Structure 1
Amino acid sequence: MSGLHKKSQVNRIARRFGIVSLKFKWFPSLYRRKAVIQIKTRRGHYALKPFYRNRLFKTSAAQQMKKAAGHIQLLLNAGYIYIPKMLYAKTGKLWTLRKGQPYYVTEWVQGRTLEHSGDYANLGRAMAALHQSSNGGPPGSKADSYTLKQIRLWKKQHRYFLRDKSGAVQKNAGYRRWHRQYRNDCRRLAERSWTEMREKGVASLLRNERGHPRRIHGDITSANVIIADDERLYLIDWDRVRFGSIYVELAKTLANTTHFNPEFIQSLLAGYEEIRPLKRTERKLISALFRLPREAWLAARFPNGKKSDELIENMTNTWSERMKANKLLDDWANRQ
């Protein structure tokens, strides 16, 4: 929690970016009850965003903010158009620090969420342009195959799910029923993906990734995509921008935004390939990653929590659509 509750406190931060708050209001995100502050000024509305430390990394919030700002500045320099206008602090930086908490400011984008196939095509173009903007990345090394890193983590979660080390099957009757019905299906889906990833072409692609680092947004969900009133698409919440796996990002975005709707999936992929055409091996890898039952693994880690119940309900209600989407991705991957 940033501790910004009073107008005077908000104004101290806002003035560092050259704006004066007349009113402010907190808005939630998928993860936090208070995630971003909308600031009303005489010049318009702005988003004051506290930057929260990613616990997966050992660095401080300020160090992570500095690195994220570096990525954003390179994107702005390259003319990337899918970031809301960002304000510079009086220090010349894209961020400021208050009591150890970093903040950054963008214009507030008024608009709607993803609704039709044209929106998804634009999202595909925005992602492809981002993934193409990675020249000058860090030098490659054996540890820099970002997709392989994620695959190793997911394999651990898959084994955990099959072995049920948490005792979830015994503790939670709802999870027990779901686990009994879908465990073998989840196992088959994952094992098919592992097999496809070992195929010669895909395995070579994974090995060679370390020499070609790519920049990713890191958290593309429906809530972080806004279609402005002028129909321009913006990606918001750039806290997790970094070098990472473009294949994992594309697979997760398809699952997180399209509701497994075939038209939306096809539009997003078509928009992406307008900017960055994919080789057949890349398609096969994306299809294999999309197929993985990630929500089942997450539910197994926290079987007694509210999140687990929501994941199980969502997977049950969308299982048929997921299987059809898997088939669609398979056909797309094998297209000549």
Structure 2
Amino acid sequence: MARTHGYRLIFKKIARSYGFSIRKTRSYSSQYKKTAAFRVTTNKGTYMIKPFIGSKSRLIQLSSYAVKLHKRGFHGMPKWLRSRSGKYWEQEGGKFFYLTDWIQGRKMSRSKEDLVKLGRMLARLHSVSRNLKLPRQPDSVTLRHRRKYYAFLRRLKNLRRKPTKAGTWFRHHGDLCIELSREAIHSLGTSKIRSTLREECRHPSLVHGDVTVANILQSKNRIYLIDWDLMKRGSSYYDLVVALTNTAGFEPSKMAAFLKGYEEVRPLRRREKELISSLYRIPREAWYVCQYAMNGRKYGPLLNVLNKTWNSRLIAIKWIDTWSRQ
């Protein structure tokens, strides 16, 4: 359990602004932070206090998105609470905080049943938020991946000469990484996929931005996503691919369960499936390993995961290619 002593006075002030008194506080860590959130037991219920790292304008935007989603009937996230001042956040001690309901649940099991529920929930997020009439945005998907692809090629050329674990791995698998990347980038540039992306730019969705097993809770019969600090306007297709990669474990039967749940809520056209298949084809983790290795960052754990799952990834790519043509 991380320290809470330094926050006690701040939390008392925050509690007063929300009209309750705190009886017990417990801190929780996350994948990225030792102290990510606090569970507070009060005289009016149990809530989560979340320190927010970012600007005031970003927090206002985030709270606005969360409130609009809840009003439109999306309940796959904890409900944000409004203080007596009417704001959905508070500033104390030079730091920003927001409060939500506390979700009591278990981690997602990665069972097919849970993956179907996750697929449905993510599709609801994308569908509901698309109806919010958000401002249009430029096509960042194609441009961002093209830039990352060329950066990968430059780094790979030097990395393969190095007598390191990463250098050895890419001497064996680098050519296939290039082939998969080239095919994906080419596909993203075809007219039908560019048309699909332009259509999405005119009517963007809100995306979670970090759908991982660690950010998913199963509570009773409902799936919840937590840690929404990266929520923004973005590509629902890329958000789907990230979620699929992080949760289905490159197992075709589990991928099928996730996509089945998604399409129950938001059916996908053939060209949308082809876009998803193209994004899934990109060896994203290989790009990251190459980047970290050339920038002197720690890459061992990610390389181990990449190496252990490489054959499964290739099978999963073939499966999603077939799915996209159905």
Tell me the TM-score normalised to structure 1 length. 0.89
Aligned partner letter, 2:64: G
- Which residue of structure 2 aligns with residue 154 of structure 1? 145
Mapped to 2, the partners of 1:83 and 1:90 lie a distance apart of 22
Letter in 2 for 1:19: F
- Residue identity matched to 1:78: R
Alignment partners' CA distance in 1, 2:19 and 2:170: 55
Hey, what does 1:231 align to over in structure 2? 221
Distance 2:16 2:289 in 1: 44
Choose which of 101, 125, 131 in structure 2 pairs with 1:130: 125
Match 1:319 to one of 310, 321, 324: 310
Structure 1 residue 121 corresponds to structure 2 residue 113: no
Q: Does 1:281 align with 2:276?
A: no
Verify: 1:104 aligned to 2:98, yes or no: yes
Distance 2:186 2:156 in 1: 25
Distance 2:163 2:72 in 1: 51
Matched letter for residue 134 of structure 2: P
Unaligned runs of 5+ in 2: none
Which residue in the other structure is 2:89 paired with? 95
**1:245 and 2:246 are equivalent in the alignment:** no
Say which SS state the counterpart of residue 271 (structure 2) adopts: helix
| Partner residue in 2 for 1:192 | 183
Equivalent pair of 1:62/1:101 in contact (CA under 8 Å): no
| 1: CA distance, partners of 2:251 / 2:167 | 29
Q: Partners in 1 of 2:57 and 2:222 — Cα distance?
A: 32
Deviation at 1:210, TM superposition (A): 2.1
Letter in 1 for 2:56: A
Query: How far 1:199 moved relative to its partner?
Result: 2.7
Structure 1 stretches of 4+ moved >4 Å: 165-172
Aligned residues: 320
Deviations 1:234-267 (A, max 9, x none): 1111212221100100011101111112222111
SS in 2 for 1:158: helix
Unaligned runs of 5+ in 1: 54-60
Aligned to 2:60: 66
Contact in 1 for aligned 2:66/2:80 (Cα 8 Å): no
2:8 maps to 7
Cα deviation, residue 181, structure 1: 1.4
Contact 2:40 2:46 survives alignment (8 Å): yes
Percent identity (aligned): 32
Aligned equivalent of 1:57: none
Cα 1:240/1:137, change in 2 over 3 Å: farther
**8 A contact 1:166–1:301 mirrored in 2:** no
Q: 2:262 aligns with which of 268, 272, 279?
A: 272
Q: Tell me, yes or no, if structure 1 residue 299 matches structure 2 residue 286.
A: no
What does 1:163-182 align with in structure 2 at a 5 Å threshold? 163-164=154-155, 168-169=159-160, 173-182=164-173
**Amino acid in the other structure paired with 2:50:** K
RMSD between aligned residues: 2.1
Do residues 39 (structure 1) and 40 (structure 2) align?
yes
| Alignment-derived partner of residue 333 in structure 1 | 324
